[in-house]
Amino acid sequence: MKIEDAIKQAQFKSEYQKASINLMFTVSWMTSSIGQALKPFGISNQQFNILRILRGSHPKTQSVKELTAKMLDRSSNASRLVDKLLDKKLVERSVCPSDRRKVEILITDLGLKLTEEASQEIEKITESIFSKISKNEAKELNRLLDSLRG
């Protein structure tokens, strides 16, 4: 669907404005699609992001500061998100033996299982979305996005 049809706007000030709005709309649309897929698992996009980071470093722990640095949405309150994951028994928190000011977070077996199941659902959505473009187009999209970030 063209962005003009999606937001019911016929004209844009420039191609740059159109690209900017198109990108923001697409990110919102994808985030919403992924959020819907995560609902049955009882976690949000941001919580899933933390679980994926922890799964990637397992069995090594991560501090909240390290989690924040690796998150897709760095404006999220990682401490609050970790607290919610603790309540769901998806992560464990412990005090670092060498630095008592540092709190270490570890994904639990339940968290690993949930992350694997949720990841399979997210992969299905991602494949469905990106099946509309070729691998070369995806590669070019990645190159363009990397260029935008400098």
Residue 139 lies in a domain: no
Count how many domains the chain has: 1
> Is residue 39 included in any domain, yes or no?
yes
Long-range contacts of 69-77 (CB under 8 A, 24+ apart): 71/46, 73/45, 73/46, 73/49, 76/46, 76/49
Residue 85 in any domain: the answer is yes
pTM over 0.85: yes
Residue 131 resides in a domain: no
Considering the domain boundaries, does residue 135 fall inside one?
A: no
Output the pLDDT for position 95.
86
Residue 103: predicted pLDDT: 87
Digits of tens for pLDDT over the chain (150 positions)? Answer: 899 999 999 899 999 999 999 999 999 999 999 999 999 999 999 999 999 999 999 999 999 999 999 999 877 789 999 999 999 999 999 987 787 778 899 999 999 999 999 999 999 999 999 999 999 999 999 999 999 999
How far, in Å, CA of 26 to CA of 23, rounded? Answer: 5
Give the domain CATH number at 73.
1.10.10.10
Q: Does residue 137 lie within any of the structural domains? A: no
Residue 75's pLDDT is 72
Q: What is the pLDDT of residue 76?
A: 73
Look at residue 149 and tell me if it is in a domain: no
pLDDT of residue 102: 82
Range of the domain at 91: 3-125
**Among 35, 66, 39, 28, CA closest to 50:** 66
Report yes or no on 136 lying in a domain: no
* Model pLDDT, residue 149: 92
